[in-house]
Amino acid sequence: MRFLRSLVPSLLVSSAAIVSAASSWSFEDATVTVSNKGAGVGAGAKDKLSATSPLSKSVSLGATDTLKLQLTTVDGKKATRPHQAFLTLTDPATGVEESFLLNVKDSGKGSLNLAHKDLPHQFLTSSKPLPASIVIGSFGSSTAYKAKVFDLNVARDPNVPLAVPEKPLRYAAEKEIHHIFRDDPRSPPKIITLIFAAAVAAALPALFIVWGTLGANANHLSKALGNAPIAHAVFFGSILAMEGIFFLYYTTWNLFQTLPAATVVGFVAFISGSRALSEVQERRLAGLR
């Protein structure tokens, strides 16, 4: 029992040490090569990079040069592919940063080709070496890696003018936008309204004449009101109310005032009209016409 008590802490410490050793991102077998345009394969200065200390000398990149970075990303001691791997350049004078993505395979082997034309114009005018850092990180509990690995001297051809954008991209407030809405719709001239109103009023006598010709029976009015007085009165009142709503909409109301009132009156007309028509059907089925 005493042996188990002494063994368990030792195993826990050993496990913690193993997990700690395997919980950090880094890189191995890293080299940086600068080759001139038109040079053969393998030509150019090659320097080995360390994950623990930066390169002692600066790396120079001329106007026609290409920088090639090769490395193997590792999680602890295992070579694997991270979620992110960048080479980040920083201008020490202005603090401007630019990151360049490394193309990393599943085996962890990654590479980056950086030409002179890929650099922003701020780096081409910098008088100081640009610190170059490698950033490696991924999902999970492993600690990300970020450290300076070398300094980059960017040389520019004095015979080639520097292409600087006329208006650098900046996030700022734009000019105020003034919205111009369409004028409210106008009613037609009063003379046209009066003409149509007179035409409708003149048609009412003809409507009653046709109604009487088709067999209207005014003698049943008292019987209808006696059987369903509320239904007939409310239905007729709802028709008049709907006409009044249309008149208010034409004169003063807007659509948002008209729709709620028309909805309520329409519902009342539907309920009362159903009951009034049922009463009329009952009289017709009884032979009263």
Q: Which range is least confidently modeled, 89-93, 102-106, 183-187, 262-266?
A: 183-187
Residue 63: its pLDDT value, please?
A: 84
Separation between Cα atoms, residue 221 and residue 229, nearest integer Å: 10
How large is the average pLDDT for residues 24-41?
Answer: 84
Q: What is the pLDDT of residues 212-224, one digit of tens each?
A: 777 666 777 777 7
**Can you give the chain as a three-state secondary structure string?**
CHHHHHHHHHHHHHHHHHHHHCCEEEEEEEEEEEEECCCCCCCCEEEEECCCCCCCCCEEECCCEEEEEEEEEEECCEECCCCEEEEEEECCCCCCEEEEECEECCCCEEEEEEEHHHCCHHHHCCCCCEEEEEEEECCCCCECEEEEEEEEEECCCCCCCCCCCCCCCCCCCCCCCCCCCCCCCCCCCHHHHHHHHHHHHHHHHHHHHHHHHCCCCHHHHHHHHHHCHHHHHHHHHHHHHHHHHHHHHHHCCCHHHHHHHHHHHHHHHHHHHHHHHHHHHHHHHCCCC
Percent of the chain with pLDDT over 90: 44
Residue 163: its pLDDT value, please?
A: 63
Is the pLDDT score of 171 beyond 70?
no
**Residue 13 pLDDT level (bands cut at 50, 70, 90):** very low
Is the pLDDT score of 128 beyond 90?
no
CA distances from 273 to 231, 238, 277, 280 (A): 7, 9, 6, 10
Separation between Cα atoms, residue 165 and residue 201, nearest integer Å: 75
**Residue 145 pLDDT level (bands cut at 50, 70, 90):** very high
Q: What is the pLDDT of residues 264-282, one digit of tens each?
A: 999 999 999 999 989 888 8
**Residue 173 pLDDT level (bands cut at 50, 70, 90):** confident
CATH topology of domain 24-154: Immunoglobulin-like (2.60.40)
Q: Is the CB of residue 33 less than 8 Å from the CB of residue 46? A: yes
Q: State CA 10 to chain mean position distance.
A: 53
Q: Which range is least confidently modeled, 199-208, 213-222, 244-253?
A: 213-222
Residue 287: its pLDDT value, please?
A: 75
Average pLDDT, the chain: 83
Residue 36: its pLDDT value, please?
A: 82
Q: Which residue's entry shows tokens 């109301």?
A: 253
pTM: 0.50
How large is the average pLDDT for residues 198-209?
Answer: 87
How large is the average pLDDT for residues 202-210?
Answer: 85
Q: Which two tokens stand for residue 147?
A: 């450290």
Residue 39: its pLDDT value, please?
A: 59
Residue 184: its pLDDT value, please?
A: 73
- The CA radius of gyration of the chain, in Å to the nearest whole number, is 45
**Residue 64 pLDDT level (bands cut at 50, 70, 90):** confident
Separation between Cα atoms, residue 130 and residue 191, nearest integer Å: 83
